[in-house]
């Protein structure tokens, strides 16, 4: 257990940040799953910019790596082109 006041505060703030990051990452995973489940090209083309924006924001905050965000955006764009 931490002895210093600043160490205790750091533990508390790390827990809060961890909870926030986990929530945001889980929300992203759910959004990607929902996007992949869409069968209509029109619906998917409307959802892709929002999803790309979410990926960029999480990469900017270092919740996910910027290359992972780029790879996911590319993969989802390819998925969109293959829809009928």
- pTM for the model stands at 0.84
Tokens of 30: 């759910």
Residues 6+ away with beta carbon under 8 Å from 12: none
Q: Which of 36, 18, 50 is nearest to 80 (CA)?
A: 36
For 14-64, how does the pLDDT look when each residue is reduced to its tens digit (9 = 90+)?
A: 999 999 999 999 999 999 999 999 999 999 999 999 999 999 999 999 999
Residue 24, pLDDT score: 96
CB 62 within 8 A of CB 25: no
Residue 84, pLDDT score: 82
Region 65-74: what's the mean pLDDT?
Answer: 97
| pLDDT for 70 beyond 80 | yes
């Amino acid at each position: 257990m931490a002895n210093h006041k600043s160490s205790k505060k750091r533990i508390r703030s790390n827990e809060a940040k961890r909870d926030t990051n986990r929530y945001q990452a889980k929300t992203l995973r759910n959004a990607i799953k929902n996007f992949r489940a869409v069968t209509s090209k029109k619906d998917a083309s409307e959802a892709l910019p929002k999803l790309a924006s979410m990926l960029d924001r999480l990469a900017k905050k270092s919740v996910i790596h910027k290359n992972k965000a780029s790879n996911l955006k590319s993969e989802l764009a390819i998925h969109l082109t293959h829809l009928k």
